[in-house]
Amino acid sequence: MKWPITIAAASLALLPATALAAPARNADTAAVIKVLGDYKAAIERLDGRGTERLFTPDSMIFETGGAEGNYANYLRHHLGPELKEFRSFKFSNYKVDVRFVGGAAVATETYGYRIETIKGEVAERLGVATSVLRKEKGRWRIVMMHNSARRPKPS
């Protein structure tokens, strides 16, 4: 009975570290995607309340060529007031890719979005965002987010 256990233990020792880490990475990937999804859902609800928990206090936000400061500042002075001017904000063709670099997660999101303002103006854009997340006390949080958008080319 000892031999099968010894052989199994020896076999596990020969597996590459990535094979052993795969379930943990899958869970981390899912957790990162959930953080980004929670943020996206808040934008679509036009309600930034509670999104601060998704970002670290020392986060940095960059949007279309501008440095917005940390997320609390961005929410208070940019995103929050902007959301109040929208009737709707809908994402489409959303895709996300997550990679790990050391202890950080690097996520790239691509999407389309359509905004309708309370005045009835409509803007359709193609967007891309890159976010860096780190795990703090067992939770992934956004440390840096950079997003930009452009008008789609006419069909």
CATH code at position 23: 3.10.450.50
> Is residue 10 one of the residues assigned to a domain?
no
Q: Write the Ramachandran bin of 154: left for phi over 0, alpha for psi from -120 to 50, otherwise beta.
A: beta
> Is residue 30 one of the residues assigned to a domain?
yes
How many domains is the chain partitioned into structurally? 1
> Is residue 155 one of the residues assigned to a domain?
no
- In whole angstroms, give the CA distance from residue 50 to residue 37: 14
Instruction: Quote the pTM value.
Output: 0.84
Amino acid (1-letter code) at residue 128:
V
Structure tokens at 29: 């990937």
Digit-coded pLDDT (tens) for 70-127: 999 999 999 999 999 999 999 999 999 999 999 999 999 999 999 999 999 999 999 9
Render the burial of 9-42: b for 16+ CB within 10 Å, e for the rest.
eeeeeeeeeeeeeeeeeeebbebbbebbeebbeb
> Is residue 72 one of the residues assigned to a domain?
yes
By residue range, what is the domain housing residue 82? 17-150
